[in-house]
């Protein structure tokens, strides 16, 4: 079930959880989350919970998506790289807040579904690629912002290298058996500043492109 009223309620809940960035909130309100989840989970699309999207992957909890988006401090002119397209939900929101979104996914069928959703919603500033996002997107680097939606113990060096000076990367850092934290890295003239935003639980960042048989 979904109506604009559900989305308005979702935004109220995000506000009371501490999300204050009004452009991020209206971008979230404009993207129908139920179009990004499998039919069986449609009636749960507006709960503040992660939902399965197939291939062992999940669509992140709205509060986590909102915290990541707010943390990027977008003004609308950015060239942004997303690693982990998944359902395309996060990218669809980002497309309303940036100039262009480059998004990479290692599961081809997930990417194909995400592309179909972008077409259906008229999202035309998202460029997709099937591949290993740990390598970043060298042909399009450097990026103003990088958003990684799968966790690893350390941030991949290629991604840090592809960030502009003054640029921001947000990613979940940590393993699968222990606590992960959402960390914001800001590239300085020399090195990086890092700041923990919240505790989170993400699927792992895995190398290579997934084979058809992979779950």
The catalytic site residues sit at: 60
How many other CB atoms sit within 10 Å of the CB of residue 189?
6
Q: Which of residues 29-48 bind ligand SAH (CB under 6 A)?
A: none
Of 58-66, 70-78, 165-173, 180-188, the segment contacting ligand SAH by CB under 6 A is 58-66
Judged by beta carbon, residue 191 or residue 207, the one nearer ligand SAH is 207
| Contact pattern for ligand SAH over residues 99 through 138, marking x by CB under 6 A | -----xxxx--x---------------------xxx----
Question: Judged by CB under 6 A, does residue 146 bind ligand SAH?
Answer: no
| Contact pattern for ligand SAH over residues 78 through 97, marking x by CB under 6 A | -----xx-xx-xx-------
Question: Judged by CB under 6 A, does residue 150 bind ligand SAH?
Answer: yes
Question: Judged by CB under 6 A, does residue 171 bind ligand SAH?
Answer: no
Beta 143-148 vs 126-130: how paired, if at all? unpaired
Distances in whole angstroms, Cα of residue 3 to Cα of each of 29, 61, 90, 150, 169? 11, 19, 19, 30, 33
Shortest approach of ligand SAH to residue 73 CB, angstroms?
A: 19
Beta 180-187 vs 192-200: how paired, if at all? antiparallel
Judged by beta carbon, residue 11 or residue 50, the one nearer ligand SAH is 50
59, 159, 163, 168: which one contacts ligand SAH (CB under 6 A)?
59
Residues that bind ligand SAH (CB under 6 A): 53, 57-60, 83-84, 86-87, 89-90, 104-107, 110, 132-134, 149-150, 203, 205-207
């Amino acid at each position: 079930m979904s109506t604009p009223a559900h989305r308005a309620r979702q935004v109220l809940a995000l506000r009371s959880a501490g999300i204050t960035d009004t452009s991020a909130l209206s971008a979230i309100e404009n993207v129908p989350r139920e179009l990004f989840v499998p039919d069986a989970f449609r009636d749960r699309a507006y709960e503040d919970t992660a939902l399965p999207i197939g291939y062992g992957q999940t669509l992140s909890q709205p509060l986590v998506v909102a915290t990541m988006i707010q943390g990027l401090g977008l003004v609308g002119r950015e060239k942004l790289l997303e690693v982990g397209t998944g359902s395309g939900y996060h990218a669809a929101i980002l497309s309303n807040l940036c100039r262009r979104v480059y998004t990479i996914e290692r599961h081809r069928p997930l990417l194909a579904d995400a592309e179909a959703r972008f077409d259906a919603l008229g999202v035309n500033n998202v460029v997709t690629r099937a591949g290993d996002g740990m390598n970043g997107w060298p042909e399009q680097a450097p990026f103003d912002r990088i958003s990684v939606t799968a966790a690893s113990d350390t941030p991949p060096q290629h991604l840090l290298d592809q960030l502009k000076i003054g640029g921001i990367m947000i990613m979940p850092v940590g393993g699968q058996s222990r606590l992960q934290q959402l960390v914001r890295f800001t590239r300085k003239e020399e090195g990086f500043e890092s700041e923990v935003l919240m505790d989170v639980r993400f699927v792992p960042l895995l190398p290579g492109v997934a084979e058809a048989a992979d779950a």
